[in-house]
Amino acid sequence: MDLRESLKMAVKTLTASKLRSSLTMLGIIIGNASVISMVGLGDGGRRYINEQLQSLGPNILFIVPGSRETRELGALEVPRNLVLADADAIAEQVPSVVAVAAENTTPGLITFLNRNANVSVIGTNPAFVTVRSFTLDQGRFISDLDMQRTSAVAVLGNSLAERLFDGQVPLGQSLRINDVAFEVVGVLAVQGSNLGVNYDDAAIIPITTQASRIVGRTSTFGTEVSFITATARDSESMQTAEFQITNLLRLRHGIVDPNEDDFFIQNQDTLLAIADTITGALTLMLAAIASISLVVGGIGIMNIMLVSVRERTQEIGLRKAIGASRQDILIQFLIEAIILSAAGGAIGTLVGVSGLSLLSLLTPFEAAAPVSAIVFTVGVSGSIGLFFGVIPARQAAKLDPIVALRSI
Amino acid sequence: MAPVIDLHHISKVYGSGNTEVKALWDISLAINQGDYCAIMGPSGSGKSTAMNVIGCLDRPTQGQYFFDGQDVAQLDDDTLATIRNRKIGFVFQQFHLLPQLSALDNVALPMVYSGVPAAERHQRASQALQRVGLANRLTNKPNQLSGGQQQRVAIARAIVNRPLLLLADEPTGALDTTTTEEVMKIFAELNHGGITVVMVTHEPAVARLTDRVVWFRDGQVLRTHMSPNDVSYGALVE
């Protein structure tokens, strides 16, 4: 009995009981759809983060407080030992850097008339817009004069301005941040969220004003900052800039042993690498969880096939009586299991892929299943049919025709 | 004429020790090519076991069985399957047609296992169905056929590979009198065509239509007689 005949026979048998076949496939369909969508989601997440990192602007260096230890232990509270003077020193003394922005983010309550909003209050300096490649929608950004005078001026994120002023012109309006009066001098263009900070929903004020009027001086070394961003002259100067900044900060912080650095510097590439590691692990974990449902689907096929062997005992007996060998029966049931799981796999893939397409159609999240994942899951589901089909098929092949024919 | 079926001191024993059951005990029996033979006997007489051995579905515990000149008593499962496929046609009381297949596909099934090409299968299966008078029922599924028609499809399936031996186990057991007559007529025609027919039956009326009756009792051949008119209820309860 050749393979083509076996295939035709299996298709005939499976299409004869469509409901049962579809129900049997359901487990594999769900398993495959979930694997595909999980991998697709993970992949989309990775791309989303990459895009975010790339949108930060080119040639950016992040200078973040914290020792090697606190970084490796993943501590939530890091020593706040980077100060505004460090940022100024980098701007003045590091020749390969063209712009330096210091940022200090604190939560704050904004009040305008009877409207309140809990937002991030970001204290920064005029170079911020240059480093981050941000643009303004209205008005102006913080100026050097504002910094010197610790003026109470604020630049609002786009959606925050919308929310507070509701169609009125925000410029020149007076609002209160933590009960200190500020004048709105500018509104940012829409930026989107960036590294977990939603600049559209934040208020930006001079960092000097923030230090003197809102948070007070909390560091013994001057005005503390959350982190410093610096733009290198060009991509070739990145390494030089990193080296020079490191040296300068060690000098300023009195560090001799590099192991005792109380800051560390990251660039887009290292951030990308970290993000890749995290999202890669996440994708793998999601895929592993989804794979469990694929295996459960395979067990489902085995169950139904075992029931099917029992129910079709007479058929098996008859086939053997009229000349089917053990191998013929074995192959017949194996092929049925493989067809079920491969077809289920294909349908599941289709479901998963269309689900992902729907998601990317409805949300800005670009989720698509990589071709490798599709090939992998369809292959795996086929092998699952082979694997879980063996036990029922062997049972069928083992049946004694006399006993099988007599059973009812 | 050389016997198609030649049983020499065949025994079939199930279990061992105290639970030993001698289903067949030292049976010798020869059935010639072209014979039309009925096997009768009460339940538990060993006639079913004898059928299984004769049909190469089962192996005897002891003895030799020459089928078509070949000793088949201790062949392996797959070799026996090939012999059944090529040389023996089976007809069962419950027809045993596959419900998902058409009459034509059911009849063609044995040829699938003997590797006959599709076109020839189709042609030979239609011929076999024509021979049992079902030329106009090729595409019907079994549940669209009457009991008598289903049994005729089963007979067509049994003869499609041109077997030496047609082995029928209570072929009329599930049929009414009229269809029994139709089916028995087909068996007689096939036998006239040269096929050896052996059938197990409970019905004296059916056995009377054959040429020879073999009586089984307690795992042994009680007697055989060539005059079918001797078959009676008297003999059955003897």
Indicate whether A7 pLDDT > 70: yes
| 3-class SS string, B127-163 | HHHHHCCCCCCCCCCHHHCCHHHHHHHHHHHHHCCCC
Residues shown for chain A: 408
Domain borders along chain B are 3-96+163-237
Half-sphere exposure in the Cβ direction for B42 (13 Å, CA)? 9
What is the CA angle B40-B44-B49, rounded to 5? 75
CB spacing of B98 vs A317 below 8 angstroms = no
Within 138-197 of A, beta carbons closer than 8 Å to B belong to none
CB spacing of A16 vs B86 below 8 angstroms = no
Q: How far is A324 from chain B (nearest CA, A)?
A: 6
What are A85-95's pLDDT values in tens digits? Answer: 899 999 999 99
Within 14-73 of A, beta carbons closer than 8 Å to B belong to 16-17
Q: What is the mean pLDDT of chain B?
A: 89
Let me know how many helices (H) and strands (E) chain B has, helices first: 8, 10
Indicate whether B238 pLDDT > 90: no
Partners of A156 in beta bridges: A187, A203
pLDDT at residue B105, as a whole number: 94
Indicate whether A171 pLDDT > 60: yes
Contact status of B152 with chain A (Cβ, < 8 Å): no
Which position has the token pair 């999240």? A365
B228 pLDDT band (50/70/90 cuts)? low
DSSP sequence for A143-198: -HHHHHHT--EEEE-HHHHHHHHTTS--TT-EEEETTEEEEEEEEEPP--EETTEE
Nearest-angstrom CA–CA distance, B55 and A337 = 32
Chain B residues with beta carbon closer than 8 angstroms to that of A2: 115
Which ranges in chain B belong to alpha helices (H)? Answer: 47-54, 77-87, 103-113, 118-131, 147-159, 177-192, 204-207, 233-237
Residues shown for chain B: 238
Per the CB < 8 A criterion, the answer to whether B152 and B160 are in contact is no
pLDDT at residue B167, as a whole number: 95
Indicate whether A217 pLDDT > 70: no
| Residue of chain A minimizing CA distance to B96 | A318
Contact status of B14 with chain A (Cβ, < 8 Å): no
Contact status of A1 with chain B (Cβ, < 8 Å): yes
Nearest Cα to A181, choosing from A105, A107, A112?
A112
Q: How far is B227 from chain A (nearest CA, A)?
A: 32
**In one letter, which amino acid is A369?**
A
pLDDT at residue B31, as a whole number: 93
B205 pLDDT band (50/70/90 cuts)? confident
Give the residue, B223 or A180, on which the prediction is more confident: A180
Nearest CB to B113 within list A16, A323, A402? A323
Indicate whether A12 pLDDT > 90: no
Contact status of A11 with chain B (Cβ, < 8 Å): no
What is the CA angle A212-A218-A221, rounded to 5? 95
Chain B residues with beta carbon closer than 8 angstroms to that of A397: none
Fold of B3-96+163-237: Rossmann fold (3.40.50)
Nearest Cα to A102, choosing from A90, A92, A87?
A87
Interval A365-382 mean pLDDT: 81
Per the CB < 8 A criterion, the answer to whether A184 and A156 are in contact is yes
pLDDT at residue A47, as a whole number: 82
Which position has the token pair 């980077």? A82
Q: Count CB pairs under 8 A between chains A and B.
A: 62
Indicate whether B7 pLDDT > 50: yes
What are A62-71's pLDDT values in tens digits? Answer: 898 877 665 5
Give the residue, A156 or A359, on which the prediction is more confident: A156
Interval B210-236 mean pLDDT: 73
**Which H or E run includes A253?**
helix A238-253
Q: How far is B210 from chain A (nearest CA, A)?
A: 24
DSSP sequence for A257-276: SGGG-SEEEEEHHHHHHHHH
What are A17-28's pLDDT values in tens digits? Answer: 889 899 989 989
Indicate whether B1 pLDDT > 70: no
Interval A307-316 mean pLDDT: 91
Indicate whether A360 pLDDT > 90: no
CB spacing of B100 vs A326 below 8 angstroms = no
What are B160-195's pLDDT values in tens digits? Answer: 999 999 999 999 988 999 999 999 999 999 999 999
Indicate whether A72 pLDDT > 70: no
Q: How far is B230 from chain A (nearest CA, A)?
A: 31
Indicate whether A128 pLDDT > 70: yes
What are B20-65's pLDDT values in tens digits? Answer: 888 899 999 999 999 999 999 888 888 889 999 999 999 999 999 9
Return the minimum-mean-pLDDT range out of A268-277, A366-375, B56-65, B223-232: B223-232
Contact status of B174 with chain A (Cβ, < 8 Å): no
Nearest CB to B113 within list A13, A16, A322? A322
Nearest CB to A5 within list B58, B112, B157? B112
- What is the ipTM, given to two decimal places? 0.91
